Amino acid sequence: MNSVLLMDDASAPPVWRPAPRDYSGNMCGIYIEGLPPIPGGGSNPSLFLSWFYDRYDAPTRARIRAEYARRGFTDWLMSWPDSRAVGATPDSFAATCQELVDAGFVVTAMMCSKDFDPSDVPELKRRIAPALQTLTRVAGRICVGWELSIWLQPVQVQELTDWMAPLVTPWGGKLYVHFQQGYASFDIDGPNASFAGYWNRNIGKLTGLLHQRVQDGPDQWGKAEYQARLVDILDRFAGGYFCSPDSGFGHPFDCIALEITAMDAFNRNLSEAEQDGWAVTAVTTTPVNGPYGPVRVMGSGNGRA
């Protein structure tokens, strides 16, 4: 069973299992008939957004878990700021995540958001710290925040990363970043900013990137363009263009195709089959060889690949 926290037997205490590098989830893309409308949900109540899981009652949550597992997904994205906005405390949020872990899922927790948090690092730390402490050995993956490049400056993102890494990595947690559509780095070096500059600065801190495909506007990516952009990232994570081939954890930085079709699912009810097709496109992107062997897309967060 692919899980962060497992029971060796019925009487033994929970045993910690770090999250794997591979990812298989669907943050905004499965349709479950009969789901009730919830605050923040889409116009189609049957569309399930994984980070709104705690907005449903216990019987509905049990049904959602069963449907999610039936489709073969193992990874579950949650969001501390979204849960906090509807009354969650650090302890109750961790308990919700533990409920998912106990059901066999690996939890990824987003820690801040442009929708609910200020662009002030001291205040962000104050809001994140209590929840981060409760998520130790519960959420195997921690993400600094949603779409960090939209609402924070590069130096602020780096300060948060530098602060969070020693609170996450020592117990085996994996730390990631998530940027706006199409972004794969967010360097502090101004006119001399580079992909390598950003990722080399985060050796031993970040496991990798939760990538977001460009889904809207005149330059939205088709499948060929999407794969080409992913190859650009893999080429660098394999050691190209002066980027380190070692994340500091004995393997390359990981690119997870987290957000692929979520916007289309939310806005126009993109079918599960269409989303699965996009997920397959992401994970079948041609790997790039580097000193540690082939560097590939490490899974999908939208659709079943």
pLDDT tens for 133-168 read: 999 999 999 999 999 999 999 999 999 999 999 999
The predicted structure's pLDDT at residue 172: 96
Number of C-beta neighbours around residue 89 at 10 A: 13
Instruction: Pick 13-300's CATH classification: 2.115.10, 2.60.40, 3.30.160, 3.20.20.
Output: 3.20.20
- What are 213-254's pLDDT values in tens digits? 999 878 899 999 999 999 999 999 999 999 999 999 999 999
CA 266 to CA 137: how far, in whole Å?
32
CA 84 to CA 187: how far, in whole Å?
30
The predicted structure's pLDDT at residue 14: 59
- What are 254-272's pLDDT values in tens digits? 999 999 999 999 998 999 9
- What are 50-86's pLDDT values in tens digits? 999 999 999 999 999 999 999 999 999 999 999 999 9
What average pLDDT does the chain have?
94
Cα separations in angstroms, 113 against 42, 128, 166, 284: 19, 11, 21, 30
Half-sphere exposure of residue 42: CA atoms within 13 angstroms, side-chain side: 22
Cα separations in angstroms, 152 against 49, 89, 94, 199: 25, 24, 26, 17
- What are 165-190's pLDDT values in tens digits? 999 999 999 999 999 999 999 999 99
The predicted structure's pLDDT at residue 12: 53
Is pLDDT above 80 for 8?
no
42: pLDDT confidence band, cut at 50, 70 and 90?
confident
Cβ atoms of 173 and 140 within 8 Å: the answer is yes
